[in-house]
Amino acid sequence: MKKVLFSAVILMAVANASFARENKTTQEDTYTYYVVGVSGSDYLLSTSPSPLCDQGTAVPCEIVTTEEHSDLQISISEANNPGLTTIVSKRPAF
């Protein structure tokens, strides 16, 4: 009887631990892009740092977003929306 009770307790503990692992929140993937230009109402992006970051223009340089932009473009309004995008660095405005 003790073995059955002990086995039941172990089984409950293992099941509880596995459910606890499943309920953990997962961190969203983030994507880092570098602004290399402007086209209309969009920023043109690159996945590698731009040498233009040292030039004096008031546009973002490095941005991080939770959405992948495979077309390497992001609207200026989306880039400036803190709920969607984080601007890591800006080019200095001279």
Q: What is the pLDDT of residue 41?
A: 94
H or E element, residue 29: none
| pLDDT in the model for residue 15 | 62
Tens of pLDDT, residues 15-29: 665 555 554 555 678
- Rounded to whole angstroms, the Cα distance separating 24 from 58 reads 40
pTM score, whole prediction: 0.62
Report d(CA 61, CA 34) in Å as an integer: 5
Give the pLDDT score at 94. Answer: 45
pLDDT beyond 60 at 11: yes
Query: What is the helix (H) or strand (E) element at residue 5, kind and residue range?
Result: helix 2-22
Higher-confidence residue of 90 and 94: namely 90
Strand positions, DSSP E, 1-94: 31-39, 42-46, 60-65, 73-75, 85-90
User: Residue 61 carries which DSSP code?
Assistant: E
Q: What is the pLDDT of residues 68-78, one digit of tens each?
A: 999 999 999 99
Query: pLDDT tens digit string along 45-76?
Result: 999 887 767 666 667 888 899 889 999 999 99
* CA distance from start to end of the chain: 81
What's the confidence (pLDDT) of residue 21?
Answer: 54
